[in-house]
Amino acid sequence: MAFSKSLRKGQIPVGCQLCEGGNKIEWKCTDCNLLMCDRCKHRVHLRIAKDHRIVNIQEIREHEDSWDRFVFSGVRCPDHTDQFCSLYCGTCNKIICLKCIVKVHNGHHFIDEEEFREKKEKLKEGQKKMKRNLTKVGSEKKKVIALEETDNAKLRNVKQNILDQRKQLHNAVDQYADNLVQDLDKHFSTLKHKETQIKKKIQRMHLNNDALENIITSRNFVQFFRDFDQLNIKLHEDMSQDSMNISPLPNFFPGEFTVLNFGSLEDNTRLTEHHSNVEFKVANQWKTEIMNIHYLVRCPDGSVCIADNENHLFQHIKLEKDRVDVISSFNIGVLGLDIISSNVLVSNFESTLQCID
């Protein structure tokens, strides 16, 4: 609209708006919102609008504050200079006087000063919120900068910890692989040792068999009875030896690589929350007659004893599916509960213990 355009021109002065000769702007008319040089002020504007208010351009900021107190009735109609404006035409986007309504703007959408002030106040509230957000974001920026400076020194240590962990993992893997190879070599050496033992056993059994053959076929009775006992013992030794337990060379099955045991980057403030995967669900709940439940103990029969030490109330209750049955109630102060056999042990405010059946 023409009026708002003139206001925007006043914010970026480029030259006198009357002579347009590029003269230096020194004055502004607050009534018609014109910027002018000193020559046009005296020779032009004051001659045609003597009652208008003209201020020095150096004071323009002070006069711009008057925008907060701006009302339509303080501005003359640009089409009817003898009339002051009273409404804003939303259809034509300009402020108008009563004559304008009758002649041109009949049936248009109008905004009065009250609605104008409400809209301006709404924008002011939004501006205040924006400033608060700017302050908040500025504080967050300072925190980020401070954290960046702190973490800059921390970064080297964290990186070194990761590299050290990688080195330790490499060493652990190497050691584990070496142990597997050594176990495999040891198993194979055991097989070789068993093979040697078996060969020696076979040789000894052949010798004993030859000796048995000789004595069985011998006709020398003296030699027969002399060697019989010794050969009989060797025969039983060979027959009684257990067969060797031989297991084949084991195979190697590669495991699945995983980084779970290597470590991870965690925020210290959320470490517990991050690792907690436990979810609690309420299976059932009961409403009791006492105001507070400071102590609770379960009895052997499934009943429950509860106590409120502020109101000196102790109850023996039974929890049913949808209700609480009060078995007994006592007006005593309780500082602690426990179960001894089928009795309840109560400590009270008098430094005594009471056993309740």
How many angstroms separate the CA atoms of 288 and 167, rounded?
60
Q: What is the pLDDT of residues 282-294, one digit of tens each?
A: 888 888 888 888 8
Q: Is 100 exposed, middle or buried, given 0-12, 13-18 or 19+ CB atoms closer than 10 A?
A: buried
Per-residue confidence (pLDDT) for residue 40, from 0 to 100: 87
Spatial distance between the Cα atoms of 14 and 302, rounded to a whole number of angstroms = 92
- Residue 339 pairs in a beta bridge with 344
Q: Tens of pLDDT along 147-180?
A: 888 888 788 888 888 898 889 888 988 998 898 8
Q: Are 73 and 84 in contact (CB under 8 A)?
A: yes
pLDDT top residue among 324 and 48: 324
pLDDT at 66 over 70: no
pLDDT per residue over 87-131, tens digit each?
888 899 888 888 888 888 888 998 888 888 888 889 888 888 888
Percentage with pLDDT > 70 across the chain? 82
Query: 335, 302, 338: which is closest to 318 by C-alpha?
Result: 302
Percent with pLDDT over 90 in the chain:
1
| pLDDT score recorded for residue 351 | 67
pLDDT at 5 (0 to 100): 38
The topology under which CATH files domain 295-356 is Thrombin, subunit H (2.40.10)
Q: Where are the domains of the chain?
A: 2-111, 123-240, 295-356
User: Which residue type, as a one-letter code, is found at position 163?
Assistant: L
Is 97 within 8 Å of 84 (Cβ atoms)? yes
Which comes out higher in pLDDT, residue 169 or 7? 169
Amino acid code (one letter) for 61: R
Per the listing, tokens 């409403």 go with 287
Amino acid, res. 311: N
Q: What is the mean pLDDT of the chain?
A: 78
Q: Which of 44-53, 130-139, 202-211, 264-273 has the highest mean pLDDT?
A: 130-139
* pLDDT value for 243: 55
Using alpha carbons, select from 32, 27, 58 the residue that is nearest to residue 42: 27
CA 67 to chain centre: 47
In degrees, rounded to 5, the angle at the alpha carbon of residue 346 between the alpha carbons of residues 345 and 352 is 110
Per-residue pLDDT, 111: 87
Strand ranges in 32-132 using DSSP code E only, listed in sequence order: 34-36, 54-56, 87-89, 94-96, 110-111
